[in-house]
Structure 1
Amino acid sequence: MTETTIFHLEMLTPDALKPKTNSNGLTVNKVLFKQFEYNRFLYQFVGAAWQWTDKLNWTEQQWQQYSEAGNLHLFVASYQGSPAGYYELQQQEEGNVEIMYFGLGTRFIGKGMGGYLLSQAIESAWSLPGTRRVWVHTCSLDHPSALKNYQARGFSLFKTEIESTVS
């Protein structure tokens, strides 16, 4: 049996953000023309290293329904013209915005870009109309610095769970 720890974090005011402002050459742009294939590519590009498997067996219809929904916002990070990472923000009920997926491709990890990308994600979330809370979850399968990065940017832990799976 394998145990995975899931950490749920939240930020209740924009003032809680402790931004990292040095981009180290990373640029971030909102994707205005939705294409589910792009979301799927980014999910695999970033997630392969961290065992993101929950969407691997999705049909094209499921990808399209999720990715092209009006409440989902995709932002792509680039470095010297190459995709370097991304984040997705989902607007939810009662002013909640969840950072659904967030990360860098493996070639861009350890170059001081993660804190900047997360700062951009949080700023983007707070800029959406009606946002009252930004939240995210990460787990023990993610990069060892993921939880530290979330907390360093101002997120507070509000729930921890242990998920057991048979290996």
Structure 2
Amino acid sequence: MSHSVTTWYLEQTAREQLAPAQAPPAGQGVRIARSEVPSPEFSRFLYTAVGGDVLWTDRLAWPYARWAEYLGRPGVETWVAYERGTPAGFIELEAHPEGVVEIAYFGLLPGFRGRRIGGHLLSYGTARAWDLAERWPQRARTARVWVHTCSDDGPHAKANYERRGFQLFDTKVGEEPEVPAPGPWPGAGRALPAGE
């Protein structure tokens, strides 16, 4: 079995296109910090906790060594949003030598969605992506920040990118195999029968 998936590719070609979201209220206790020490355990936790219900599966088979190698590369940064000390979501940036930065992953744990954290984290992460794009040694004359999202992601993902000033530059439609939502641990993504 398979299903149709639409993938949207969005970009900013100038820092001035970034339209920052309003920060959550100070009393909510939201802060954003870089995960500066490459930690495969922590990054895999974020990946599965955020992507488990929206079918992120491409990194599930990565062994520890591949996580470590990837996270240790120059230009790869993970920024984490915390609410009162608890990880709420993350944004992962991957800079390329030509001055192009990809937002490789971005999202919130399910319990933190709809609380004004996502727009704030995306704004913060995109501003940091522009820092990387503009300061990267040997960059091309035109820096660029881009991202892709798809119809399997959260229902508000594309709109959040567009509100932050990203513009659509390509759309692709394809078939993806049906897979159960993995959740942050085996079986966590399954819907419980009524009464459980």
1:141 pairs, out of 145, 152, 155, with 152
The alignment status of 1:77 with 2:77, answered yes or no, reads no
> Relative CO higher for 1 or 2, CA cutoff 8 Å, sep ≥ 6?
1
Q: Is the 8 A contact 2:39 2:68 kept in 1?
A: yes
Q: Which runs of 5+ in 2 are unaligned?
A: 179-196
Task: Say which one has the larger Rg.
Answer: 2
Q: Would the aligned equivalents of 2:79 and 2:91 in 1 still touch at CA under 8 Å?
A: yes
* Match of residue 68 from structure 2: 64
Per-residue deviation, 1:162: 0.9
Q: Which residue of 1 aligns with 2:19?
A: 18
| Matched residue SS, 2:66 | helix
Match of 2:7 in 1: 6
Of the structure 1 ranges 7-16 and 64-73, higher mean CA displacement relative to structure 2 is found in: 64-73
The Cα RMSD (Å) is: 1.3
Residue 166 of structure 1 deviates from its aligned partner by: 4.3
Residues 107-122 of structure 1 correspond to what in structure 2 (within 5 A)?
107-122=111-126
SS in 1 for 2:160: helix
Are positions 1:87 and 2:101 aligned together?
Answer: no
Residues 38 and 68, structure 2, Cα contact 8 Å, conserved in 1: no
2:127 maps to 1:123: yes
- Distance in 2 of aligned mates of 1:77 and 1:90: 18
Q: C-alpha displacement at 1:56, in angstroms?
A: 0.5
Q: TM-score, normalised by structure 1?
A: 0.95
Inter-partner Cα distance in structure 2 for 1:158 and 1:127: 22
Aligned length: 167
How far apart in 2 are the matches of 1:166 and 1:100? 22
**Secondary structure in structure 1 of the residue aligned to 2:61:** coil
What do residues 77-132 of structure 1 show as CA deviations (whole Å, max 9, x unaligned)?
10001000001100013110000000111010011211111101111101122371
Which residue does the alignment assign to 1:36? 40
Deviation larger for 94-103 or 29-38: 29-38
Decide which moves more: 64-73 or 93-102: 64-73
What amino acid maps onto 1:144 in structure 2? P
TM-score, L = length of structure 2: 0.81
2:50 and 2:104 map into 1 onto residues whose CA distance is: 13
CA contact (8 A) 1:28 1:78 kept: yes
Paired residues of 1:36 and 1:68 also in contact (CA < 8 A): no
Inter-partner Cα distance in structure 2 for 1:166 and 1:46:
20
Structure 1: 5+ residue runs without aligned partners? Answer: none
- Which residue of 49, 52, 59 corresponds with 1:55? 59
Q: Which runs of 4+ in 1 moved over 3 A?
A: none
